[in-house]
Amino acid sequence: MKLNKMIDHTKLGPAVTKDDIDRLIEEAKTYDFKSVCVNPIWVPYCQEALEDTDVLVCTVIGFPHGTHTINTKVQEAEEAVQMGADELDMVINVYQLKQGNEDYVRAEIAGVLKKANGRTVKVIIETCYLTSKEIALASKLVVEAGAQFVKTSTGFGSGGARLEDVRLMKDTVKDRALVKASGGVRSYEDAIRMIEAGASRIGTSSGVNIVTEGRKHSDTDSSY
């Protein structure tokens, strides 16, 4: 797969403007990224702007802390789909995971998956707050709930994607789910290291820089 089609071109945050979103959309069109990842309020606008392309519209659920109730996350997912979202990136309740409440975490993932109605769901486990044992447990729960991806980070926590965490996640899910590395992936070299560690998708606001750097490497398209 080409590198550009492994990138979720991302613009999230409380102060994002329409100009920011317009720039994100145009960059996604120019570089043919896999998706744009935006806050829910921008989903209809992005969907309309990208309807004649194969760039998907991804949005976030329970973002950024994951402390919404299950019902709230389920309602968010339902509304996001109604607005036209193609993919959903949801944040788990980290507290419940750390308390060992496996049924709760499975239930919230399953609830979002049901409302996703077949759309790809990427489950953010926020690795910066977890031990290695907890990362493995969270990854296992993602598989058991039936989600397509386990994702490292929101980018709003105390840290982002780390190679050792991506490897652990991939080792845990094997071929039963995919891994998305997100948070702090800013260069071509960063992206390639994450892919080699097991990531199938990269969440980044530096997609243009990554692909531009990648074009300097003659084997980019043949390798990824």
Phi-psi region of 184 (alpha: psi -120 to 50; beta: other; left: phi over 0): left
* Pair 202, 188: CB distance under 8 Å: no
pLDDT at 218 over 60: no
Contacts of 221 (CB under 8 A, 6+ apart): 2, 3
H or E segment to which residue 97 belongs = helix 94-98
The CATH number for 3-216, chosen from 3.10.105.10, 3.20.20.70, 3.40.50.1700, 1.20.200.10, is 3.20.20.70
Cis geometry, peptide bond prior to residue 64 (ω within 30 degrees of 0):
yes
Which residues have a catalytic role annotated? 89, 151, 180
H or E segment to which residue 37 belongs = strand 35-38
The predicted pLDDT at position 217 comes to: 79
**Of 175, 212, 217, nearest in space to 7 by CA:** 212
The predicted pLDDT at position 224 comes to: 46
The predicted pLDDT at position 219 comes to: 53
pLDDT digits (tens, 9 = 90+) for 29-57: 999 999 999 999 999 999 999 999 999 99
Cα distance between residue 161 and residue 195, in whole Å:
12
Mean residue pLDDT of the chain comes to 96
**Of 183, 79, 61, 72, nearest in space to 122 by CA:** 61
Helix, strand, or coil (residue 33) = coil
Tokens of 169: 């996640």
pLDDT at 62 over 60: yes
Cα distance between residue 65 and residue 67, in whole Å:
5
pLDDT digits (tens, 9 = 90+) for 78-136: 999 999 999 999 999 999 999 999 999 999 999 999 999 999 999 999 999 999 999 99
**Four-point Cα dihedral 144, 150, 155, 159, nearest 10:** 80
